[in-house]
Amino acid sequence: MNTVRLLGAVLVVSGFFLTGCQPADESDIEPATAREAVEPVAGVATEPQQTESNPLVVYSSRQPHLVEPLFEEFTAQTGVAIEYINDSEAALIERLAAEAEDTPASVLITVDAGNLWLADERGLLQPLASDFLNERIPEALRDPEGHWFGLSVRARTIMYHPDRVDPADLSTYAQLADPQWEGRLCLRTSRKVYNQSLTAMMIERLGEENVEPIISGWVSNLATEPFSSDTRLIEAIEAGQCDVGLVNTYYLGRLIDEQPDYPVEIFWANQDSTGTHVNISGAGVTTHAPAAAQARQLIEWLASDAAQQKIAGSNFEFPAVEGIPLHPTVEAWGEFEADSMNLKIAGQRQVEAVMLMDRAGWR
């Protein structure tokens, strides 16, 4: 046992010597500052020893094909290597919480502000004071204290089949509770956080006692049991199982991408009142980030014009930064007024929302 320990200690010490000496031989940069440097340093980038330029570790719940090209671009531009783990938000948050100060992760990337809020609420994200981010990301899409920042925007709104629905009959989310939609509405399961966030925001605006009858109305208007995916929901509208539904717009974008004349249309809800409900995918720096400087560098880079253009071009979402050109498919949906309430609410009221959905029988 003791010999094993001794051997380990020898290895560690010799590792220190090796990695500590090598860059000093080749250049004059001191290892300690090189590790903290935000700007890529030539000596670090070419450094063959792993220990010197530790990769920036990211916990991400976004689909790999969406984040990987961004990470690759970031590494190419900055020399900071990225290693990431993909899992569901809840698992990543528990992982961060359990690892606490020993976490290898410096950045958390998830979809839905509710998840970012939860991570923050549990003390897993640290504030990031960045004028650059505060200037570029609209106020509603970031945490007021800088614990997380939205990087792409998705709208959850009404979709309908143009042959069976006159858009003049559509107006607000609440109006879908009207008996005229009986047997014509499709919803996704209330398990999905997108629906929980929408309900949470409605509770903030209208009050619990007014939202419950709306949700009950939706439930009694359902054409069929709630779906387990937005894509299947849109397909059900297309196939005639129902006429209207609540869906994130990028799901329709993907279907239009495969079939340009896809016969389902978008209606921007609540244009005369609160604006359409939007949500974000976003990122924050973990509280015990081993590489906070690189973490900041990554998040700021993701808000840069170049990255935002990539984001806007890849998933039919909206860029978080204004003035970035939209994907042509997205642009064709026309302009709309988005809800400007801070998305923190989506997290703060999620428990209320879930309980309300349970009471109203939304499965």
Where do contacts with other proteins occur on this chain (CB under 8 A)?
57, 61, 63-64, 83, 85-88, 90-91, 94-95, 98-100, 102, 104, 118, 189-191, 193, 196, 224-232, 235-236, 238-241, 251, 254, 350-351, 354-355, 358-359, 363
Distances (CA, A) of 193 to 111, 122, 198: 9, 18, 8
Find out whether 276 and 157 touch, Cβ atoms under 8 Å. Answer: yes
Pairing label, strands 105-111, 185-186: unpaired
Q: Using an 8 Å Cβ cutoff, are 347 and 114 in contact?
A: yes
The token duo for 99 is 């690892």
Minimum separation from the CB atom of position 224 to other proteins (A): 7
In angstroms, what is the minimal distance from the CB of 233 to other proteins? 9
44/357 with CB nearer other proteins: 357
Nearer to other proteins, 174 or 193 (CB): 193
- Of residues 118 and 299, the one with the C-beta less far from other proteins: 118
Phi, psi dihedral angles at 273 (to 5 degrees):
-130, -100
Contacts by residues 79-83 (CB-CB < 8 Å, ≥ 24 positions apart): 79/40, 79/41, 79/44, 79/45, 79/53, 80/40, 80/53, 80/55, 80/56, 80/294, 80/297, 80/298, 81/53, 81/55, 81/56, 82/55, 82/56, 82/57, 82/58, 82/298, 83/55, 83/56, 83/57, 83/58
CA distance 81 to 95: 22
Question: How many whole angstroms from its chain centre is CA 342?
Answer: 15
Give the shortest CB-354-to-other proteins separation in angstroms.
4
Nearer to other proteins, 131 or 261 (CB): 261
Comparing CB distances to other proteins, the nearer of 26 and 225 is 225
Q: Please state, in angstroms and rounded to a whole number, the distance separating the CA atoms of residues 268 and 336.
A: 7
Question: In the bound complex, what is the minimum distance in angstroms from residue 227's beta carbon to other proteins?
Answer: 7
Choose between 95 and 310: whose C-beta lies nearer to other proteins: 95
Minimum CB separation of residue 235 from other proteins in Å reads 4
Q: How far is the CB of 217 from other proteins (least distance, A)?
A: 18
Residue with smaller CB distance to other proteins, 164 or 363: 363
* Cβ distance to other proteins smaller for residue 35 or 232: 232
Report the nearest approach of other proteins to the CB of residue 275 (Å).
Answer: 25
Exposure on the CB side of residue 140, measured as CA atoms within 13 A: 15
Q: How far is the CB of 331 from other proteins (least distance, A)?
A: 22
Q: In which residue are the tokens 């629906």 written?
A: 195
